[in-house]
Structure 1
Amino acid sequence: METVVRAATHVIFDVYLNYINLLPKSFSLTARCDFYLSRSVYATTPLAMVTQKNSLFLPRINKLSYTLVESGLYDRWMKYSEHNSSMCKNPPRIITVNTILSLNSLWGMFAVLGCGFIVAVVVLVMELVCGGARWGQKTQVAN
């Protein structure tokens, strides 16, 4: 996480539980939220218990684990077990980047503008050449 992700060349796709301990530790070391977890998750709950197949306890265990997560008790436990556990939990909705605008940073915009002008001139010339031949013709309307 500190090497390839910090260099902004990779993204890590892994289980949520692996990173809820790493993010607070990173924040404690740097006092910045350099890493964020995505808003969408692919695992339904961060809790798991193992029982025998078709166990009578399975519905009760599922109900208890869903209740713990949905009531926020699991997040509360994480807050008390790991210092700074909620600091970098959700990414900001808007990220502002302050850069100095110069010709070096805007050359792409001017290239697109120039290509647009060239395409417009080519289309105009084609309309004049192809459309001019038809303007000279007289059309007859059948009665």
Structure 2
Amino acid sequence: METVVRAATHVILDLDLNYINLLAKSLSLTGRCDFYLSRSVYAVSPMAMVTQKNSLFLPRINKLSYTLVESGLYEKWMKYSEPNASMCKNPPRIITVTTILSLTNLWGMFAVLGYGFTVAVVVLLMELVCGGARWRQKGQVDT
């Protein structure tokens, strides 16, 4: 993370459990969130409890596991295991970019404006030419 991701040349795609602790440690060291996890999830967490085949405990373990995850207790345990674990979990919804406005940043806007003026002048000239021809022909212009 500190080499290629910080240089903004790569993105790491892996399970979030591997990076929650790394993000928390990075926040503790630098005091800011330089890295974020994406909001979308592409795979579930690879956790399991193992029992014997056809065990009588399996339905109870499954029910307990679902209850722990759905009640949010698992997230709470993660929060207490690493104090900064949830601070950098999701990127902010609004990212403010501050740049100095110059002609190199705004040339596209001026290009669109110039193109619009050019098209407007061409349309105006076409109306004058076509309208003048009709005026000479009929003595008036139909609207």
Same fold (TM over 0.5): yes
Cα root mean square deviation, aligned:
3.1
Q: Is the partner of 1:21 in helix, strand or coil?
A: helix
Residue 86 (structure 2) aligns with: 86
Q: Which runs of 5+ in 2 are unaligned?
A: 139-143
5 Å matches for 1:90-101? 90-101=90-101
Identity %: 76
Q: Deviations over 1:23-46 (max 9, x none)?
A: 0011111111011111121224x3
Q: Normalization by structure 2: what TM-score? A: 0.72
Separation of aligned partners in 2, 1:75 and 1:135: 78
Residue 110 (structure 1) aligns with: 110
Separation of aligned partners in 1, 2:22 and 2:77: 16
Separation of aligned partners in 2, 1:16 and 1:101: 38
Residue 48 in 1 paired to residue 54 in 2?
A: no
Amino acid at match of 1:91: P
Separation of aligned partners in 2, 1:4 and 1:119: 47
Q: Which runs of 5+ in 1 are unaligned?
A: 139-143
Q: Deviations over 1:65-86 (max 9, x none)?
A: 2222221211222122223112
Instruction: After TM superposition, give the deviation of residue 114 of structure 1 in Å.
Output: 2.1
User: Residues 8 and 111 of structure 1: is their aligned pair in 2 closer, same or farther, counting only changes over 3 Å?
Assistant: farther
Residue 17 (structure 2) aligns with: 17
Instruction: After TM superposition, give the deviation of residue 5 of structure 1 in Å.
Output: 2.0
